[in-house]
Amino acid sequence: MPAVLSGIDAETGPAVVSRGDWLLARKALLQQEKALTRLRDRVDAARRAMPWVRLERSYRFDGPDGPVTLDVLFDGRRQLLVHHHMFAPGWTQGCAACAVTADHLEVARRHFERHDLSFVAVSRASPAQIEAYRRRMGWGFRWVSAEHGEFNDDFNVSFAPRDLASGKVYYNYAAVDARIEELPGLSVFYRKGPGEIFHTYSTYARGIELLDGAALCLDLTPGGRVRTRHDEACRNEGPPARRSAAVAAIVR
């Protein structure tokens, strides 16, 4: 069955007008688009000007070849982008919504790695689980496990049973209702020298859509997005479908 296009009224459809009237509407929208572009430029500048936090912990991870430190994950570059990929111990595979992000990053990293930015995905699943899933999905990026460390806890993307039992977790800079042990995010770090690492930025929930080129293309069409990709989180090919509603309710 074809998907319902969310941006088109099934009964009346869009208005049909003359080319002249269409041009008037398009020019009005263009002014909004230009204002959004200028606003995005200001937000991007403000993001780059954010203060930094020096990391006091020496984070360690487990990779396919053994333990590695956060310092090593920079791979000789000064900047590091981390994808907090939802994949917990006991899950058979990673979250489907995170897989969409990973698909985009797999291509994009080949360009930004030439601009002093390394990339790594981090999850709490075991290295063996991660490696099997990474190979099945055809991704070549580095992916490490934070199962035995505090990294995911410190960056508020994994939640202990006691936190879930309370009904609230700290995510996206606020206390939110949650019934799921993992949520997605992106974090950026800067390395000045050996062991001298700074946290510069993190974004969560719909902030991750900055990287979703497919969704941005769909936004140009009358039908728009069939549904937000996070509404599809963990559905079909991800963790059990019962987690889908829990994720969607939080990340909107």
Whole-angstrom Cα distance, residue 204 to residue 185?
4
Burial of 55: CB neighbours in 10 Å, binned 0-12, 13-18, 19+: middle
**Nearest 5°: phi and psi at 184?**
-90, 160
240-251 pLDDT, tens digit per residue, is 443 444 454 445
Please state, in angstroms and rounded to a whole number, the distance separating the CA atoms of residues 65 and 182. 25
Query: How far apart, in Å, do the first and last CA atoms of the chain sit?
Result: 26
CA distance 185 to 227: 20
Q: Picking from 20-24, 45-49, 150-154, 213-217, which range would have the lowest pLDDT averaged per residue?
A: 213-217
Tens of pLDDT, residues 175-210:
999 889 999 999 999 999 888 999 999 999 999 998
Min mean pLDDT across 28-37, 119-128, 158-167 is at: 158-167
Taking the model in full, what pTM does it have?
Answer: 0.87
- Tens of pLDDT, residues 7-65: 566 567 788 999 999 999 999 999 999 999 999 999 999 999 999 999 999 999 999 99
What does the pLDDT read at residue 178?
82
Q: What are phi and psi of 47, to 5 degrees?
A: -65, -45
Outline where DSSP puts E strands in the chain.
53-54, 60-63, 66-69, 79-84, 117-123, 142-145, 168-171, 174-177, 185-193, 196-204
Q: What per-residue confidence (pLDDT) applies to 108? A: 96
CA–CA separation, 189 vs 209, rounded Å? 19
Please give the distance of CA 222 from its chain centroid, rounded to a whole number.
Answer: 25
